[in-house]
Structure 1
Amino acid sequence: MTDQKTKYSDDPSAELLATAGLVTMLGAVMAAVIAVVTLGGGNLLLAGALGSVALISFAASLVLFAFDSKRSEGAPLPFPSWLRAEPETAAEIS
């Protein structure tokens, strides 16, 4: 089995992009939940502000994930090549 190097192994910015995308997505979910709870409490101004924070955070996470995927399009997959091969059927084996 050959040892494959990926683009991510020497590039810490790839980990930074993925982590930042996850953190902003988590922030978007938390802001949306708090906005719904605040809206139920009757505070429309705070609910609107939190809802806009949730939308902006969600859009930022999508941008981060899209940028990360564009960087890794040409990189080899980080698992062994035998896992990527098409499975042989029982008829082909015998």
Structure 2
Amino acid sequence: MKLHTTGILVIVWLGIFTLHTTEGSVASQSMRKLSCVNLSAQKVDIRSIVSYEKQKVPVEAIMFITSNGIKICVHPDQKWVQNAMKRIDKRRTSKRR
């Protein structure tokens, strides 16, 4: 009888442990990096931008990252945004060589 009870307790414990670790890994996978929701209408000084990321969801946007680590979301169709992206891409390719 003791062996039967011990077996059930071990199975319950394993079930709880598995559920707990699965929830932890799922929660950590669903954590997303910062995403753009609101877009800035102001032009950013291109010289202060060091990088950018493209985003499609929840809104189509470009997230510029400044040398101070500030993240600014802008609409990708603006001419100055496209020029800034080209300039950053040029800097990236010249550093790789």
Question: TM-score range with shorter-chain normalisation?
Answer: 0.3 to 0.5
Structure with the greater relative contact order (CA < 8 A, sep ≥ 6): 1 or 2? 1
Q: Give the TM-score normalised by the residue count of structure 1.
A: 0.33
TM-score using structure 2 length: 0.32
Larger C-alpha radius of gyration, 1 or 2?
2
